[in-house]
Every structure is written in C-alpha cells, then in structure tokens.
Amino acid sequence: MAERIKPVVTCNPGMKICLVCSSGGHFQELLRLAGTWQGIEHFWVTFPGVDTDYLLAEEEMLPAYHPTNRNLWNLFRNTIVAWRILRARQPDIIISTGAGVAIPFFYLAKFFGIKTIYIESLTRIHGLSLTGKLVYPVADHFYVQWPELARCLKKAVYGGQVL
C-alpha cells in the first residue's frame, strides 16, 4: 500500500485558505486532504459540476471557467476571476492540485504576497504536467506523489500519495 501524503501545511485558527482545482481527479485529490484545513476558514475555486456541486454542497464554492486545457480565452477569464477573488478575499495561502485554473491564481498570488502550495497529480511519475511546469517557478511549496519525480526536481518534496 502506498504511503499517504503528510499534511502539507500547518493551518492555524484565523488563517484563510483558498483551494483551487479543476473538477474530476484534481478535485478528488484535493478533497482527500480536507483534514488539513478542518475548522479553518476556507473556500473553493473550481468548476461547477455534478461532483463539485454535490460534494461541496456545505462548502463555499466560487466558480471558474472551463475548459482550461490550452484555452487562452478561459485563461484570460480565470485571470480576471483570480484577480477579483484574491483582492476581495485576501487568503493567507492557496493550495492546488491543478490543473490550468491554478496558473493565474499562483502568479497573482506572487503579486499579492500570498503563499502557495502545489501538489502535482498522482499520475505524474517521471515528469511534470503542463500546469506543474508553469507553476513550479512561483510555487512556495511544490509536492509530488512519487519519489522518482522528487529526485528530478530541486525544489520538489515527496510527501507520499493522496489516494
């Protein structure tokens, strides 16, 4: 059995966390870490859909635009969404498992001085996803789920597996 990922951040009372991810597998991976921010103020930025609407029915969810895979128009639109949300909500930290919706949030987080944590997908064993490649330079903490991948990246930390 694979080792479960250790909590990637110590969440303190009074902290505000922004959870950013695509729906589907990225959402499922981030949802598995919910114990990390239990009892801490947080909100989600993801795509509306059957899974997110149902599983986040009791949570605050702000919608983002999809698809994001190589879609420049939605990248632009999500940059505006990120700008508005980060200015209005002022989270202390952003945690993401990808995919493309994370990119504008991570770059604008640098501008606003917000800490970021990126957790690369479980499916990435030998190389980074496109989102991983794009956020790697600006992520404050970069976690991978395979030791093989951690050995290839100077700032990546192997933390076990989420699923």
What's the longest Cα–Cα distance across the chain? 42
Confidence (pTM) = 0.91
Q: How far apart are CA 124 and CA 143, in angstroms?
A: 11
DSSP string, 17-58: EEEEE-STHHHHHHHTTGGGGTTSEEEEEE--SHHHHHHTTT
Task: Report domain extents, the chain.
Answer: 16-33+40-158
Q: How far apart are CA 149 and CA 108, in angstroms?
A: 26
φ and ψ at 51, to 5 degrees?
Answer: -70, -50
Other beta carbons within 10 angstroms of residue 14's beta carbon come to 8
Instruction: Check residue 2 and give its pLDDT.
Output: 44
| Contact of 105 with 113, CB cutoff 8 Å | no
CATH class of domain segment(s) 16-33+40-158: alpha beta
pLDDT by 10s per residue, the chain, length 163: 344 455 555 667 789 999 999 999 999 999 999 988 989 999 999 999 999 999 999 999 999 999 888 889 999 999 999 999 999 999 999 999 999 999 999 999 999 999 999 999 888 888 999 999 999 999 999 999 999 999 999 999 998 888 7
